[in-house]
């Protein structure tokens, strides 16, 4: 049985997201490089895998998937074990609903707040090399992020992790963009939210997270 | 058994998304309006339901949820029947495809449409001038998304496959409002997408929610 394939570069946030969950469940996979600086992701071969010309692409036998959070859920459901119940699906509908809630929060509230700063400071100038930093966008992003972190701080006063007392898909989805945010001069923002900071540090301490973050540069 | 509660008026796209799921599974529900004019969405009572001060929030017995796609998943899972299996639970491949196209809706389709709606309808209502540049960019993004949808729907009846799923239903609220704007003409070039939308809008569950949205929006 051939291993799963992930198409992209391990330092790209959404590629790292998929690799993180592959590492967490300990599944075998192959990383197939895509020369995005040469525009390979916009060419027909990659478009067969990801019709939006984005990364990652993903293949498990005949199954082709895209959208990193969808790929990650598939990996967890198919290759995960009962003791690592990242989606809460082995615990019951209430637990899985709470994981879904905070997974949506990451995608719909946290990501729009933190991503512009990461795109402006790191992705645009240094990874995709498309544009220099727009400071106004960064400032607006930080303002919005403060609001979100305030809500996270209150949540983490009440539960150890976002969806409850066990680590879940919701927590780990924060890794890729937050990792890069922490390499910017604005990382100290998290110091204002002690519960959030402690939560972040416990996620970063996970061996699977360490393995994936090794491929993500801290200096540009 | 007490009916489930949905907090927020049907006119909001994210509330409508939840309502269509409740209608599809045939579960009794009560809509509790949240009055934005008196800032009820920022009241302690509502923040306890939705810490982001948004709608919808949702209550089923002791369980309180927010984020419309999470609520939708809960409703479709808990109240699933043999006939109504809109998450395709039980099949890793099918449920993965539902997840893929629901994320496409959430992260690509919806933002392009809501950006146009915001400029065209909300900005003037707040006394401002629509930014035609933003509208133009968003419509451009939408056509790129629709190119992909047309190709996909040429191969399959619905987005995740030949079965209806939450991925399809989730598109209806934003599309409903978009079709009332002049930019709706962008859909003229996409015959399969139009057929797929007509199919969705013909569903009793969607017709019911549209009637609730229209009533609230004019009220």
H helix intervals, chain B: 13-25, 44-49, 68-78, 92-104, 110-117, 123-125, 132-155, 166-169, 172-178, 191-201, 204-218
The answer to whether residue A142 neighbours chain B at the CB level (below 8 Å) is no
Mean pLDDT of chain B: 96
Q: With bands split at pLDDT 50, 70 and 90, how would you rate the model's confidence at A126?
A: confident
A139 touches B at CB < 8 Å: no
pLDDT in tens, A161-217: 999 999 999 999 999 999 999 999 999 999 999 999 999 999 999 999 999 999 999
pLDDT at A131: 83
Q: Per residue in B119-175, pLDDT tens?
A: 999 999 999 999 999 999 999 999 999 999 999 999 999 999 999 999 999 999 999
Q: Give the pLDDT of residue B218.
A: 58
pLDDT of residue B203: 98
Q: H or E segment at B187?
A: none
Q: What is the mean pLDDT of residues A34-57?
A: 94
Task: Indicate the residue of A51, A69, A77 with minimum beta-carbon distance to B151.
Answer: A51
Contacting residues of A for B88, CB less than 8 Å apart: none
Decide if A67 and B93 are in contact by the 8 Å CB cutoff: no
Sign of the C-alpha dihedral computed for residues B41, B44, B47 and B49 taken in this order? negative
Q: Are A7 and A62 in contact (CB under 8 A)?
A: no
CA-to-CA dists, residue A55 to A20, A35, A114, B9, B81, angstroms: 15, 11, 19, 37, 36
Q: Which residues make Cβ contacts (< 8 Å) with residue B122, sequence separation at least 6?
A: none
Q: Name which of A73, A93, A109 is nearest B96 (Cβ-Cβ).
A: A73
CB-CB under 8 Å, B148 with A52: yes
| Residue A1 confidence (pLDDT) | 67
| CB distance A85 to A165 below 8 Å | no
Q: Which pTM was predicted?
A: 0.96
Q: What's the complex ipTM?
A: 0.95
What average pLDDT does the segment A69-79 reach? 96
Q: Which of B51, B70, B103 sits opposite A70 (nearest CB)?
A: B103
Residue of B70, B92, B144 with shortest CB distance to A100: B70
Q: How far apart are CA B6 and CA B17, in angstroms?
A: 11
Residues 6+ away with beta carbon under 8 Å from B17? B68, B69, B72, B169, B170, B172, B173
Taking CB atoms and an 8 Å cutoff, what residues of chain A touch B97? 65
**Average pLDDT rounded to a whole number, residues B41-48:** 98
Please answer yes or no on whether B73 and A100 come within 8 Å at the CB atom.
yes
**pLDDT, average across residues B200-217:** 93
Is residue B219 predicted with pLDDT exceeding 60?
A: no
Residues 69-88 of A with CB under 8 A from B: 69-71, 73-74, 77-78
What was the pLDDT predicted at B217?
Answer: 65
């Amino acid at each position: 049985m051939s291993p799963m394939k992930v198409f992209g570069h391990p330092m790209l946030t959404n590629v790292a997201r998929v690799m993180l969950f592959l590492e967490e469940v300990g599944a075998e996979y192959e990383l197939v490089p895509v020369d995005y600086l040469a525009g390979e992701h916009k060419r027909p071969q990659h478009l067969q895998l990801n019709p939006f010309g984005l990364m990652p692409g993903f293949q498990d036998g005949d199954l082709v998937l895209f959208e990193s959070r969808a790929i990650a859920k598939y990996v967890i459901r198919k290759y995960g074990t009962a003791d690592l119940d990242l989606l809460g699906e082995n615990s019951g509908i209430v637990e899985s609903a709470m994981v879904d809630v905070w997974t949506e929060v990451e995608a719909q509230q946290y990501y729009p707040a933190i991503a512009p700063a990461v795109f402006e400071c790191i992705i645009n100038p240094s990874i995709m090399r498309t544009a220099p930093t727009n400071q106004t966008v960064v400032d607006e992003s930080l303002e919005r992020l403060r609001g979100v972190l305030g809500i996270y701080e209150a949540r983490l006063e009440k539960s150890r992790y976002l969806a409850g007392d066990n680590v879940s898909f919701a927590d780990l989805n924060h890794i890729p963009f937050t990792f890069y945010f922490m390499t910017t001069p604005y990382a100290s923002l998290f110091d204002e939210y002690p519960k959030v900071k402690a939560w972040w540090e416990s996620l970063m301490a996970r061996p699977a997270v360490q393995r994936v973050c090794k491929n993500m540069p801290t200096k540009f | 058994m007490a009916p489930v509660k949905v907090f927020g008026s049907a006119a909001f796209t994210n509330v409508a998304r939840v309502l269509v799921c409740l209608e599809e599974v045939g579960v009794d529900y009560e809509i509790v309006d949240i009055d934005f004019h008196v800032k009820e969405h920022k009241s302690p009572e509502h923040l306890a339901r939705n810490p982001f001060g948004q709608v919808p929030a949702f209550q089923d017995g002791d369980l309180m949820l927010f984020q419309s796609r999470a609520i939708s998943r809960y409703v479709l899972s808990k109240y699933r029947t043999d006939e109504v299996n809109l998450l395709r639970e039980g099949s890793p491949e099918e449920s993965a495809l539902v997840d893929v196209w629901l994320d496409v809706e959430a992260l690509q389709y919806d933002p392009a449409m809501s950006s146009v709606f915001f400029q065209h309808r909300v900005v003037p209502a707040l006394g401002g001038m629509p930014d035609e540049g933003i509208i133009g960019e968003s419509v451009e993004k939408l056509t790129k998304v629709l190119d992909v949808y047309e190709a996909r729907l040429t191969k399959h009846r619905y987005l995740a496959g030949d079965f209806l799923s939450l991925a399809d239903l989730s598109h209806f609220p934003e599309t409903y409002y978009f079709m009332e704007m002049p930019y709706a003409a962008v859909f003229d070039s996409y015959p399969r997408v139009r057929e797929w939308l007509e199919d969705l809008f013909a569903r009793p569950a969607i017709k019911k929610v549209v009637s609730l949205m229209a009533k609230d929006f004019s009220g």
